[in-house]
Amino acid sequence: MTPFFIYTGIILMMPFIFSGQKTTVILLDNNKTTNGITITTQGGSVDIDIPNTQTVLSSQEAKPEPLSSVEVSVIEQKYVQAFEALPSHPVSLLFYFKSGSTELTSESRVQMSALIDLIKEREPCVVDIIGNTDTKASFGSNYNLGLERAKMLKSFLEEQHIQLSEVHIESYGESNLLVPTVDEIDEPRNRRVEVLVR
């Protein structure tokens, strides 16, 4: 039997699921108030909107089996290999910069070792590096400064010889403020780079 885990979402077609085996679809708890999915085959459909409930699909032509609840401990025990194969949840770290520069604050320089450790735990991994600024300079200048901050962190990671499958850099400049401000405000929490490790 093939397990198929859903945290939340909608599946329009599932032809890839049926391979002559039964497929179990389990709605896992995603710790949100809205959680549900409709499973539809040619034989009918079933709504799963209660966490840790399941249906079984035997073919594209057959109606999904009635819902049944599953204890979390049973799910974890029965599908341990499937859970181990799932990708890790992304982790986000913020690094802060001195005003108008690509120089990290002393607190953020200390945090660089935590970034290296995190990446080494997940090698090979994908890293997104997103530069941000406050509103102290012009929009164009802030975009460029955000990009330079992201490039600086990328260069640092390359110097560490860490195995990365992909690295993406981009700049939001002043368009993604952590602390909303008007123009020409020197806000230290907006002068940051977010590093997302997945």
DSSP 140-189: HHHHHHHHHHHHHHHHHHHHTT--EEEEEEEEEETSS-SS---TT---GG
What beta strand segments (E) does 11-163 contain?
Answer: 23-27, 37-41, 44-48, 53-57, 68-69, 91-96, 125-132
**Which of 28-37, 87-96, 170-179: highest mean pLDDT?**
170-179
| pLDDT tens sequence across 105-162 | 999 999 999 999 999 999 889 999 999 999 999 999 999 999 999 999 999 999 998 8
pTM here is 0.66
The residue whose two tokens read 């708890």 is 29
The residue whose two tokens read 């034989």 is 43
